[in-house]
Amino acid sequence: MNARRVLAIDAGQSDIKVRVDDGTRREDLTFRGIHTGIPLLPQLADVVRETLARTGTDLDVVTAGISGLTDRDADADALLALVHSDGVQATMLAHDSTTSFLGALGDRHGAVVAAGTGVVTLAVGETETARVDGWGWIMGDAGSGYWIGRAALDAVMRAYDGRGPATVLTEAALSRWPDLTQAYMALQADHDRVRVVASLAREVAAAADAGDAVARDISRRAAHELASSARTAVRRVRTDEPAFDVCAIGGVFASRTLHDAFESELGEDLRLVSPRGVGIDGALALAEITPAHPLGAAVHRAGGI
């Protein structure tokens, strides 16, 4: 397996990270994030072709961990058909919860909370796996960057109306929309509105760490949601382990306020540990996952892997 030349994709809504590993060298590239409103597989095929053009690398296998992967799009055969003429011999697709787990914990038991624009939690026990949330910005993603950004906008407009306390987050909103009364119309018309809203999470983190009461409240509520997802996932797979490892990865956890609140909310029997790597590391590790692995059933394959 190590001799295979792999193009690994970590496909998120904010950006797409790519790693090419031909056995002798590695090269990393970054592309614009996936657009959830148009077909997914042609977007991945375009990334594969552009990567090959830019790196000049031949490859055998394309692996991909994909944010919000649905059954409709989890068609490894269809992706292989799109890129077979480019020299690809096999494809492997998985939800990004799987590749996030592999990047963070490898083959260890534990739970990984991956929180960026969206959020998903995956726990792996002795024999069982459990996924919690990852249901998208309309129905879920509690505690995600989008969730935080949406809460920030709500707080800004409450302050504007006089329904809520003043907050420095108003300044962040005004820098994007000088007329706050028109902000909602601009967002509704923006095809990138999910990313735009999620980008406000950075301002919330900075404001919370600087002491803004509204931003701190949003960060703590997000931490509560994320810790609740972790505890729920662990409860579904745990057997008799006295302690269970939890990894927190993704840009949301860059907030000191949120990170500390999340660790406090986990409780004494869940142990927050540092990740071994990130999502792109897990996407590359996907090439080594066999059907017999506890996560094997979560991997969609084509090309006789």
CATH annotation of 6-101+279-302: 3.30.420.40
Let me know: does 114 contact 250? Beta carbons within 8 Å.
yes
The residues with which 7 forms a beta bridge, in sequence order, are: 20, 62
pLDDT at 1: 41
Q: What is the pTM of this model?
A: 0.80
* Domain residue extents for the chain: 6-101+279-302, 106-139+220-272, 145-213
| CATH classification for the domain delimited by 106-139+220-272, as one of 3.40.430.10, 2.60.40.1080, 3.30.420.40, 2.10.10.100 | 3.30.420.40
CA gap 115, 230 in Å, rounded: 12
Let me know: does 207 contact 256? Beta carbons within 8 Å.
no
pLDDT at 264: 96
pLDDT at 3: 57
Q: What is the pLDDT along the chain (305 residues), one digit of tens a residue?
A: 445 799 999 998 789 999 999 888 899 999 998 887 788 999 999 999 999 999 988 888 999 999 878 888 899 999 999 999 998 999 999 998 899 899 999 888 899 999 999 999 999 988 889 999 999 899 999 999 999 999 999 999 999 999 999 999 999 999 999 999 999 999 999 988 999 999 999 999 999 999 999 999 999 999 999 999 999 999 999 877 778 999 999 899 999 999 999 999 998 889 999 999 988 999 999 998 888 888 888 899 999 76
Domains 6-101+279-302 and 106-139+220-272 share a fold: yes
Of residues 126, 112, 108, 88, the one with CA closest to residue 9? 88
